[in-house]
Amino acid sequence: MSKTRVLIIEDEKLIRWSLRQRFMEEGYIADEAETGGEGLRKLRNVSYDLITLDYKLPDMTGLEVLRNVRKIDADIVVVMLTAYSNVEDAVTAMRLGAFDYVSKPFKMDELMQTIEHGLETTLLKRQVRDFRAQMKSRFGIEGIIGASPVMLELFAIIRDVAASGASTIFITGESGTGKDLVAKTIHYNSDRADHPFMNITCTAMAETLLESELFGYERGAFTDAKSLKKGLLEVSHGGTVFLDEVGDMPLVLQSKLLRFLEERMFRRVGGVHDIEVDVRVIAATNRNIEKAVEQGKFREDLYYRLNIIPIHLSPLRQRGADVLLLAKHFVACFSSEFRKPITEIRRDAEDKLMSHAWPGNVRELRNAVERAVLLCKHDYIDAGDLVLGRATDQPGEAIAGLQLPPKGVNLARVEEQLVRQALKRTNGNQTHAASLLSLSRDQLRYRLQKYGLL
């Protein structure tokens, strides 16, 4: 673990020496600078955790140095030291971001307590900064795997929406299609990325608890409300709130959410004052929301308020060769995690992956690959390593009167003949042929390549 590094910018030699000796006793690495210019030059070349800064220096004032320090490193803790203290200078220093303002002569032990508190602050700031940088990297658009037309279109939508000032976004799609991933990608690629991203699943708790989590409550609002609690909307000021499975939100709460979306204000439970916040709301559901509106289970006015910028995520079965891209990505991830040198997905495994309907979408694929990597005994994945669930029936899959011959059939040959018939019936129109076979165009092209029909 690296040692704490401090910079002493002080023109009085005795004070510099005294501070340096004490810092070294505490296990810090201490550098010195006699002038503001010298201190700034060192700061540009070395990363420091804390600066002690004298107010009156030979070449400039401490306030001038502080302004320049903030341009170089916005997070570094600066403790001002001065024998010429006045309220106006102290206020200015604090506004410029000084952690504290200490008058000379000072007691060394008290100064060290201030410095320890300052170092705790800079450590926390840098941890937050590093975490945000990790999140931005993890949830970059390039982190979403896919090359199919629907995914390329989705990437363009994410870029546009993230860069926009849109305050309400509605994501729909089957379970397992990655709605939460898209929500995080939008947040971390927007100008809200340095503010909180808060996630709440609307089906995970009772109505009263969900209301308290969203809006917070005042002290004494109910029996167990011993103190004030801020809700997610308030905590997320400047950032994003992700309402997962909003289609299952109770009707009473739907009306309160609608009011917030329209006015951007709310009241805590038990409160009498409106609270205004700036948050982006991303709502998501895997339900047929239009049907829920028809059945009276979801407010029509809330649906229209949410649906200003709709984003629909296509199921995996409509994404063609993305299945193989994702599978290879997951193999690489789990091979590294489990320390297993798996470098290949065999052709029979690819065929099995491409022929499965993936009712659980990307989540199901991820789980299947994780199981295969964990349990396989060789350095490749073959069809026998893949344990897939029962495929759900898709429109047009049932063929009345079809029976398996007593001696069986070559399934690949049957598939090839069906593909040939579909192309013949549609005069070679691949889009129409894919529709007859309940395939995406990419899935059809995969089979055309497989059987040498391109």
- Domain boundaries of the chain, sorted by first residue: 5-134, 147-314, 317-385, 411-450
| SS3 at position 240 | strand
**pLDDT tens track for 129-180:** 778 778 877 888 988 999 999 999 999 999 999 999 999 999 999 999 999 9
Q: How far apart are CA 39 and CA 365, in angstroms?
A: 56
With a cut of 50, say whether residue 396 has pLDDT above it. no
| pLDDT of res. 35 | 95
Give the confidence band of 434 by pLDDT, cuts at 50, 70, 90.
confident
CATH number for the domain whose boundaries are 147-314: 3.40.50.300
What would the mean pLDDT of 433-442 be, rounded to a whole number? 77
Q: How far apart are CA 153 and CA 133, in angstroms?
A: 26
Give the confidence band of 2 by pLDDT, cuts at 50, 70, 90.
low
Q: Which CATH architecture group holds 317-385?
A: Orthogonal Bundle (1.10)
Give the confidence band of 85 by pLDDT, cuts at 50, 70, 90.
low
CATH number for the domain whose boundaries are 5-134: 3.40.50.2300
Do 147-314 and 317-385 agree at the fold level?
no
Q: How far apart are CA 424 and CA 176, in angstroms?
A: 36
Q: How far apart are CA 209 and CA 127, in angstroms?
A: 31
**Lowest-confidence region among 31-35, 138-142, 249-253:** 138-142
Give the confidence band of 127 by pLDDT, cuts at 50, 70, 90.
confident
Give the confidence band of 426 by pLDDT, cuts at 50, 70, 90.
confident
| pLDDT of res. 1 | 47
**pLDDT tens track for 37-76:** 999 999 999 989 999 999 889 999 888 999 999 899 888 8
Tokens of 342: 């798996």
Residues 6+ apart with CB under 8 A from 135: 184, 188, 193, 197
- The side-by-side arrangement of strands in the sheet containing 280-285 is 197-201, 240-244, 280-285, 168-173, 310-313
Residue with tokens 């010195």: 32
With a cut of 80, say whether residue 407 has pLDDT above it. no
The type of residue at 415 is E
Q: Which residue has the higher pLDDT, 382 or 85?
A: 382
The pTM of this model reads 0.69
Give the confidence band of 395 by pLDDT, cuts at 50, 70, 90.
very low
Percent of the chain with pLDDT over 90: 59
- Identify the CATH class of 411-450: mainly alpha
Strands (DSSP E) contained in 145-249 are: 168-173, 197-201, 216-217, 229-230, 240-244
| pLDDT of res. 440 | 75
With a cut of 80, say whether residue 88 has pLDDT above it. no
Q: Which helix (H) or strand (E) holds 100?
A: strand 100-103
| pLDDT of res. 424 | 80
Percent of the chain with pLDDT over 70: 95
With a cut of 70, say whether residue 255 has pLDDT above it. yes
Look over the chain and give the mean of its residue pLDDT values, rounded to a whole number. Answer: 88
Give the confidence band of 394 by pLDDT, cuts at 50, 70, 90.
very low
Tokens of 241: 């709130």
